[in-house]
Structure 1
Amino acid sequence: MDIDQPSSSAVFATALVLPKIDESNTMDNKPPKERLVEVLDILESKVEKLRKEASLLEEERDKLLATLDSVRHADLMNQLDENDADDITRYRDRIANRCQTVEVHVLTHRDQMQEEALFQVNHLIDILVMDLRNDHEAARQRCLSYVNACSSIMIDGIMDKKFESALLGCTLDDQKRVKKRLQGLLTYFERFFVQSFD
């Protein structure tokens, strides 16, 4: 079955939604600079909307991959015989590979100091994730202290000053992403903590 490609007229019609510079409009008494600034203001808001939507897509893709990864470690996998476990693993891998064919990147411009701060923040989070295997409760407490460093509202009064200092050196976009990542990790840690006592 053939998939219809969008016609050039359909693409053109979509482009018409964007603002145009109408140089033939002699009735517009605004100075040329003001007319151009109005168009650029509209385009800037559309670019910011595009970045926001792309960031949400990027986040959704990461959540899907994380959920697919959790299938691999689910207790239910241990209840399957070898053949069924292989079937489930192949099915999971096929979906994960398909998900990884989607690439969405929203670039954030950073100076050298912001790059170094983000590297330090990611390094601390990576250590936190690795420590989950050794001491789950200590990792959960440290994750909580990192979440508190991202927020004005403290939970249990614990905050990691080293992490906060590194985070403050990051761009605002990176700070928001780190906060979402840590909140997701904390939810995972707490779910894991509850399951381990069931």
Structure 2
Amino acid sequence: MDVMDTDFGTPKVEVNDDMTVDPKDRLLNILDRIEAHVEDLRRESLRLEERKDTLFTTLDTIRNSEHLNNLADTDKDDIQRYIERVTARCTTVEISVRTDRDKQQEESLYQVNKMIDNLVIAFKGDPDNSMNKCQSFLAACKDEPEVPVDKGFETALLGCALDDQKRIKKRLHGLLDYLGQGRFTFVSELLSLLSPGTGSSLVEEREIRPLSFGSDIFSK
């Protein structure tokens, strides 16, 4: 028994009569290689998930751009219909990578999501303070922060699974950039961006919500 890579890069088990290798060692070797492929699959799925989030954000950027507002009504309607068609098409793609968590990690993630949710809600009334709060949240994700750390957020963050901590940091970067550009007009609009296609608030689910804002797709 041995593992051969297929054309798609995935392992395929084949029978091998070579008995010079201890059966247990052979099986362990096969499982090690399969495990490596599983981790590669998770990483690639996460990249696809982030790519989908970026597409949603870019569509929203176009939807709220000054260029669109400056168009004649008929042209604007054409573009808006195009945006909605592409958005609907994007929602047909479902990507889900589950992170294993114990009860404490689930509770910590819930608290992190709730704090980010509250930050977004407060942005319209107090943008400067919300920006500072977002920076203090992001500082909690760094080994050498440049600004004071929000201790409450840091405590909740450290209770999260390591995979969640990495994703929270990356998405806070995107959220900070997005808030700094101030392109949205309603808090509900931004909250909907946090969970594209679901319409649910951050605090309703104990999962990482999409926060990878930014229109960097145009530069790729």
Report the TM-score when normalising by structure 2. 0.75
Match of 1:152 in 2: 143
Tell me if 1:20 matches 2:10. no
1:182 maps to 2:172: yes
Matched, 1:49 2:40: yes
Residue in 1 aligned with 2:119?
Answer: 128
Following the alignment from structure 1 to structure 2, what is the Cα–Cα distance between the partners of residues 63 and 80?
25
The residue type paired with residue 191 of structure 1 is Q
Structure ranking higher in helix proportion = 1
Offset of residue 23 of structure 1: 4.4
Deviation at 1:73, TM superposition (A): 2.0
Of 75, 90, 97, 2:66 maps to 75
Whether the 8 Å contact between 2:10 and 2:37 is mirrored in structure 1 is no
Going from structure 1 to structure 2, the CA distance change for 1:147 and 1:103 (only over 3 Å counts) comes to same
Shift in Å, 1:68: 0.9
Counterpart residue type for residue 148 of structure 1: A
Q: How many angstroms apart in 2 are the aligned matches of 1:136 and 1:36?
A: 57
Match of 2:202 in 1: none
Contact 1:19 1:42 in 2 (8 A): no
Q: Which structure ranks higher in relative contact order (CA pairs < 8 Å, sequence separation ≥ 6)? A: 2
- SS of corresponding position for 1:20: strand
Q: Which moved more, 1:143-152 or 1:75-84?
A: 75-84
Kindly tell me: are residues 96 and 192 of structure 1, through their superposed partners in 2, closer, same or farther at Cα, counting changes over 3 Å? Answer: same
Deviations 1:1-50 (Å, cap 9, x if unpaired)? xxxxxxxxxxx964796253534223xx2211101000001111111011
**1:40 and 1:190 mapped to 2: Cα distance?**
47
Q: How many residues align?
A: 179
Aligned: 1:117 with 2:130? no
* 1:103 positional shift: 0.9
Equivalent in the alignment of 1:103: 94
**TM-score normalised by length of structure 1:** 0.83
Residue 85 to residue 134, structure 1, CA distance change in 2 (3 Å):
farther
CA gap 1:15/1:58 in 2 versus in 1, 3 angstroms: closer
Unaligned runs of 5+ in 1: 1-11, 194-198
- Write the deviation string for residues 95-123 of structure 1: whole angstroms up to 9, x where unpaired: 11111111111111111111111111111
Percent of aligned pairs sharing the same letter: 44
Q: Which residue of 1 aligns with 2:153?
A: 163
Paired position in structure 2 for 1:6: none
Match of 2:85 among 94, 104, 118: 94
Is the partner of 1:105 in helix, strand or coil?
coil
Letter in 1 for 2:45: A
Detail structure 1 runs of 4+ shifted over 6 Å in the superposition: none
SS of the residue 1:124 aligns to: helix
